[in-house]
Chains A and B, each alone.
Chain A
Amino acid sequence: MKRILFVGAALFFLMTGCAAQEKQTGGQMEGMAEEHGHGDAKVTKHFDDSLTKLTENSLYSLELVVPDKYLKMGVNTVEIIVHHATGGDVAQAEVTVTPWMPSMGHGVMQKPVITERGGGLYSAGNVVLSMTGHWQMKVKVDKDGKADTAVFDFPEVKAMGHEHAMMHAPPPKDLDYSTMKMTANDAFNVMYKSVGGQIRINRIHSWELTIKNAAGQPVNDAKITVVGDMPEHGHGLPTQPEVSKLGTGGLYRVDGMKFTMPGWWIITVSVMANGVHDSVSFNLNIL
């Protein structure tokens, strides 16, 4: 009997303990939103595991919440909380998010989509990182003409580990499947062609790229990288393609292309020529 009483008491403590904790956590969140609403002088983080940064001209304090704390190659969604530098949430601001690869000198083709959620919270979806490596994310906040930016650094964006591959971006409707496009900043015109006609799944094959400048002149001596990504699965090509120059005429050959999954692929071609870096992404539907 004594023992039963003891166990009962222990259980009671455990249960009340948990409940109290839960309440506390919930309360913390609500409490903080209120705190900012009243314009406290001190900036309090909303989330424990977020990244924070003061904007360049100290106008705002930004809080960035990234799932699992790191960005991954593929499609990401991040949450941004905008605080006044002196405290208090910033609602109804114009927020833009620009992912950038400093070493490659290019950004992304797909524009991140910003949705305001209220209480200074903005979510940035469709942050498509086309390759692994060093990325930066420039966040610009413009509230009533007072604009300021902060740059968050992600030194090592990796391909998603399969066990972490939780993101799943279905192909948007009306995807542009054209094989000739201008690069993001209109510096180059890039056309691709699969050598030997239709691309066949599971076969190593080659592409030919034709690169021209905005004036339509062939671009020779460009440094080119080709990266593949499958947004629905968060992984890239099963190969590491190589690019070589094919004489003049802005013609290049990409060897080692291979697709081992049917569906939506994004191939990003980065071009660096005459001191200009720009990139373009092609959509492909592999059968």
Chain B
Amino acid sequence: MRNHVIRTTQSAIAASLLLIIAGVMIPASAWSLDQHTWTDGQKAILRSLWIGSLGPLPVDPSNRYSDNPKAAALGRKLFFEDHFSGNMKVSCATCHREDYSFTDNLPLSHGMDTTPRRSMPLIGVAYNSWFFWDGRTDSLWSQALGPIENKLEHGISRTMSAYIISKYYREEYESLFGPIPEITEEKWPQEARPAQDDPNALKAWVLMTPVQREAVNRIYVNMGKAIAAFVRTIMPQPSPFDRYVEKILSGENITKRMALTNDEIAGLRLFIGKAKCTNCHNGPMFTNSDFHNLGLPQKGKGGPDKGRSAAITQVLSNEFNCLSQYSDAQANECSELRFIDTSGKKYEGAFKTPTLRNVTERPPYMHAGQFTTVHEVLEFYRSQAQNPELGHGDLTDQELGQIEAFLHALSSPISSLQAEKK
């Protein structure tokens, strides 16, 4: 916050200095006209990036509870619940911190242990087609279930999750999803899950009866659907950029308060023009939700991260995907899965374009926290000028700084469903 104030002051000084210079050189009216004049084509792009073009939250046909306020209220509690972890200390909010744009400040996230990738920001996440950096799930609810059984993240099982729900959230759960079958710790093993990485948990899982497994899966799935109903409410608010575009589109005068700084406007012009940032960071969430290989340095343990190419079979075979028995969707509503591009080679080492909303508020950057500052990210893009996928034009140092300034103008408060006041 202090940084922000300093930045604003500096920008204001810079702006006033420029105004003085401009006042000497040319009439002020001509200057301001030039600064805020956008062609119809540019206005169309500005409108496409404007938060006003976001539209209502997309319907998730696979989750009939996605817009149920009671489900979202339960989901909020589950999101912050430390019990869902092997050490009773890790919740979803550990790596998706409410005070840090719903991500964390680590290059590689740390739940029970250090994971191979950075935590994703959750702002406006419901507008995505695919979830996780590699899109290995096709819905927010199936995404929410992945980390629970991941040893490096929450590190518990679905049987334990079902037990916790039955013990601590029974009333809220049952009012939404119906009665919970009788669950006792004696009858159902605590650490049973269809795990590839834990033979004991797998053995415990297959020794359960099909009826038991089905009962546990139902509770587990409903838990994911409730969490998703909450996560959907995490939304960006209008940023200085949005307020500026609103004024431009309505043809109103740009009052000093509403205007972006000179650098921010210059950065915006580069962003939608020469620097071609909108190739991937397009639409009101500033992402195409698609996968790209940027040739980033490998980080973390293990071999090369295959990214999207490895996730294609994972999402197709996911027991909780849109076409599964646990989905509420009709088969023809699962468009993304139906038309998924299965060419693995094309997506080797490719990761999802993240949103740029609030981007300057949440370093570090890239899928494995390869860069600590936005400036480093922009420098990296500039160094990739030969790659048409990444070619951002021949940018000068000053232009790089202007793009960075513009990215600051994409920050806004975040709204999300708040806990009921007692």
Instruction: Please determine whether A256 and B389 come into contact, CB atoms closer than 8 angstroms.
Output: no
Indicate whether B388 reaches chain A with its CB closer than 8 angstroms.
yes
Contacts of A165 in B (CB 8 A): 387-389
Count of B residues near A, CB < 8 Å?
35
* Bound complex: CA A166 to CA B390 (Å): 10
Structural contact, B288 and A260, CB atoms closer than 8 A: yes
Residues A238 and B335 in contact, CB atoms below 8 Å apart: no
Q: How far is the CA of A166 from the CA of B387 in the complex (A)?
A: 6
Q: Mark B85-125, 1 if CB is under 8 A from A, else 0.
A: 00000000000000000000000000000000000000000
Q: Looking at the complex, which of B73-81, B163-171, B341-349 is the stretch in contact with chain A?
A: B341-349
Of the listed stretches A37-45, A139-147, A229-237, chain B binds A229-237
Query: Which A-chain residue is minimally distant from B288 (CB atoms)?
Result: A260
Main secondary structure of the interface of B (DSSP, over half): loop
Give the residues in chain B near A287, CB-CB below 8 Å: 44-45, 48
For chain A, residues 211 to 268, give those with C-beta under 8 angstroms from any C-beta of chain B.
232-235, 237-242, 255-256, 258, 260-263
A204 engages B288 (CB within 8 Å): no
A159 touches B283 (CB 8 A): no
| A239→B339 contact, CB < 8 A | yes
B175: CB under 8 A from chain A?
no
Say whether, besides A204-B336, A238-B290, A239-B339, A262 and B388 are in contact (CB < 8 Å): no
Residue B293 lies at the interface, judged by CB distance under 8 Å to chain A: yes
Whole-angstrom CA separation of A202 from B282 in the bound complex: 9
Contact string against A for B residues 317-331, beta-carbon threshold 8 Å, 1 for contact and 0 otherwise: 000000000000000
B124 to chain A, nearest CB (A): 13
In the complex, residue of chain A having the shortest beta-carbon distance to the beta carbon of B336: A204
Q: How far is the CB of B59 from chain A (nearest CB, A)?
A: 13
| Given A202-B288, A287-B45: A163 in contact with B346 (beta carbons within 8 A) | no
Taking CB atoms, residues of chain B closer than 8 Å to A241 are 339
B292 touches A237 (CB 8 A): no
**With A and B bound together, what is the CA distance between A89 and B349 in angstroms?**
45
Contacts of B342 on A, CB cut-off 8 Å?
240
Contact A256 B338 (CB under 8 A): yes
Q: Is B147 an interface residue (CB 8 A)?
A: no
A182 within 8 A of B: no
Is A3 in contact with chain B by the CB < 8 A criterion? no
Distance to closest chain A CB from B60 (angstroms) = 14
Query: For residue A275, which residues in chain B have a CB less than 8 angstroms away from its CB?
Result: none
Most buried by B among A132, A242, A255, A262: A262
Q: Which residue of A lies closest to B350 (CB)?
A: A162
The contact of A261 among B288, B340, B341, by CB within 8 Å, is: B288
Q: Output the least CB separation between B250 and chain A (Å).
A: 21
Residue B11 is within 8 A (CB to CB) of chain A in the complex? no
Q: Is B396 an interface residue (CB 8 A)?
A: no
Residues of A within 8 A of B189 (CB): none
Complex contact A261–B48 (CB within 8 A):
no
Say yes or no: is B150 at the interface (Cβ < 8 Å to chain A): no
* Complex contact B288–A235 (CB within 8 A): no
Using known A-B contacts A165-B387, A165-B388, A168-B388, determine if residue A240 contacts B340 with beta carbons closer than 8 Å.
Answer: yes
Given A165-B389, A261-B279: A255 and B339 within 8 A (CB)? yes
In the complex, which of the residues B45, B48, B389 contacts A162, with contact meaning CB atoms closer than 8 Å?
A: B389
Q: Does B289 contact A (CB under 8 A)?
A: yes
A124 interfacial contact with B, CB 8 Å = no
Tell me, in angstroms, the Cα distance from A165 to B280 when the chains sit together: 16
Query: With a CB–CB cut-off of 8 A, which chain A residues contact B387?
Result: 162-163, 165-166
Q: Is B295 an interface residue (CB 8 A)?
A: yes
User: Does A167 count as interface, using CB distance less than 8 angstroms?
Assistant: yes
B391 at interface (Cβ–Cβ under 8 A)? Answer: yes
Which A residues are CB-close (under 8 A) to B44? 287
Q: Which among B288, B293, B343, B391 is the interface contact of A201 at CB below 8 angstroms?
A: B288
- Shortest B295–chain A CB gap in Å is 6
User: Which A residue's beta carbon lies closest to that of B279?
Assistant: A261
User: Are A258 and B339 CB-contacts (below 8 A) given A233-B388, A287-B45?
Assistant: yes
Judged by a CB distance under 8 angstroms, whether A158 is at the interface is yes
Is A197 interfacial (CB-CB < 8 Å)? no
Report how far A163 CA is from B342 CA in the complex, Å: 19
CB of A161 within 8 A of chain B? Answer: yes
Whether, in the assembled complex, B278 has its beta carbon less than 8 Å from a beta carbon of chain A, the answer is yes
- State the CA gap A167–B387 with chains docked (Å): 8
Contacts of B45 in A (CB 8 A): 287
Contact of A167 among B349, B350, B388 (CB under 8 A): B388
Q: Is the CB of B339 within 8 A of A262?
A: no
Pairwise interchain contact A232-B388, C-beta atoms closer than 8 A: yes
Given A260-B289, A261-B280 in contact, is the A204-B339 Cβ separation under 8 Å?
yes
| Alpha-carbon gap, A54 to B389, bound state (A) | 38
Expressed in whole angstroms, the Cα–Cα distance for A159 and B345 within the complex equals 8
The yes or no answer to B418 lying at the interface (CB within 8 A) is no
List chain B residues, Cβ under 8 A from A239.
336, 339-341
Q: What is the CB-to-nearest-CB distance from B270 to chain A, in angstroms, rounded to a whole number?
A: 16
- Minimum Cβ distance to chain B for residue A275 (Å): 29
The answer on a CB contact under 8 Å between B341 and A238 is yes
Those of B118-173 within 8 Å (CB) of chain A: 129
**Residues on the B chain within 8 Å of A234, using CB:** 388-389
Q: Which of B295, B339, B341 has a CB less than 8 Å from the CB of A163?
A: B295
B residues in contact with A263, CB < 8 Å: 279
Contact A237 B289 (CB under 8 A): no
**How far is B338's CA from A263's CA once the two chains are assembled, in angstroms?**
25
16 A-B residue pairings within 8 Å (CB atoms): A161-B345, A202-B282, A202-B283, A204-B129, A204-B335, A232-B388, A233-B389, A235-B346, A237-B341, A238-B341, A256-B338, A256-B339, A260-B289, A261-B279, A263-B279, A287-B48
Of all A-B residue pairs in the complex, the 8 with the closest CB atoms, nearest first, are: A256-B339, A260-B288, A239-B339, A260-B290, A162-B293, A168-B388, A204-B335, A159-B346
* Interface contacts beyond A132-B343, A202-B129, A255-B335: sample of 6 additional A-B pairs, CB < 8 Å, sorted by A: A161-B346, A162-B293, A165-B389, A261-B279, A261-B280, A261-B288
